A and B are shown apart, each in its own frame.
Chain A
């Protein structure tokens, strides 16, 4: 079974530029998550989709971050404009169901490491 795919793996940009990350979840997984992991911290949820609807985006900085999952499969996370403090690893995860049952596990991708100069 193929895992969660993310691209690019690394990205270096200057502040005020824009950047986009792509995620392809495990086939058939209804729920997709984007987490931000700043160095020395645990991942923090930015947004959760179930199919193509947003379930939770309470911690997404909506003035600069946006995300979409138009066809309920792959997803794109965008930052525009980027700030220095956006330097982090952006992790995508997926789960078969809502992620809230004992048989439902979140599977993580390799992440995209963003450096903002």
Chain B
């Protein structure tokens, strides 16, 4: 069965520190990849997505992610975090062969940024 694994459950950083959140998926076929974010008290919203082309994708608020097919990974990065980045981050996968829009989510990473 397909699964998504996020390595860090809870990350604490100081403002201006660099961020990298790991995401690995288990599926050998073509996949579409996503990072969603949930700010405190708000809805899940899309940060960025990869469907094809350049494996380095840029999203909102200075976030980027790199798709490394050989490692089944889609890690999220930001060079300098801000207090407002405090949120829960979810990696998700949609497998091309599923023929639906079904997203399989990781368990999430809570990021706490200290001012």
Contact = CB atoms under 8 A, between A and B. Distances in A.
Interface residues of A, number: 29
Contacts of B94: 99-100
Interface stretch (B42-50, B64-72, B78-86): B42-50
Contact of B108 (A42, A55, A95): A42
B108 A100 contact: no
Interface stretch (A16-24, A43-51, A60-68, A73-81): A43-51
A45 B108 contact: no
Given A42-B92, A108-B45, A99 B101 contact: yes
A91 B44 contact: yes
B32 A100 contact: yes
Given A102-B51, A108-B44, A110-B43, A42 B90 contact: yes
A45 B104 CA distance: 8
Given A102-B52, A109-B43, A31 B101 contact: yes
Contacts of B100: 48, 55-56, 98-100
